[in-house]
Amino acid sequence: MNIKIIGVGRLKEKYLKQGIEEYAKRLSKFAKFEIVEVPDEKAPEQLSEAEMIQVKDKEGQRILDKIKDREYVFVLAINGKERSSEELAAEIDQLATYGHSDITFVIGGSLGTADAVNKRANAAISFGRFTLPHQLMRLVLTEQVYRAYMINAGSPYHK
């Protein structure tokens, strides 16, 4: 199984990097795990709607360049489907059973993801209506993927 997280922008915060590294190490027993960072598009604070679309499209192309045809793609989106940890675990297990051994999660930039990325995605997933920094979301997502594998292994970790 190959699990990849594509995130826009560089992760700078040491404490987030350490948390991700810990879960990545734990995950390595179950899957090949990698995080791919794509550069964020520099933009002024105040953007017109057209400029926002342009920024998302540029970041979106960078994301799409990192996705192969065979990958099953989840895009993280506020309007995506919320899942419990158990539901995500079951979905990952089912994907593996039916030949999807390459799973990619996409975390867009601060403006979200481009339409082209959303169209490429096989599913949209939401972690609720909270707005979280996308750097923190990498840690939360990595932990939830690890938790999914622990649930599928019948481990007491999830309790």
Tell me the binding residues for S-adenosyl-L-methionine. 76, 108
Can you tell me the distance from the alpha carbon of 31 to that of 92, in angstroms, rounded to the nearest whole number? 12
Count of residues making up the chain: 159
CB contact at 8 A, 136 and 36: no
Binding residues: 76, 108
**Which residue type does 97 have?**
T
Sign of CA dihedral 48, 121, 75, 42: negative
Buried b (16+ CB within 10 A) or exposed e, 99-121: ebebbbbbbbbebbbbeebbebb
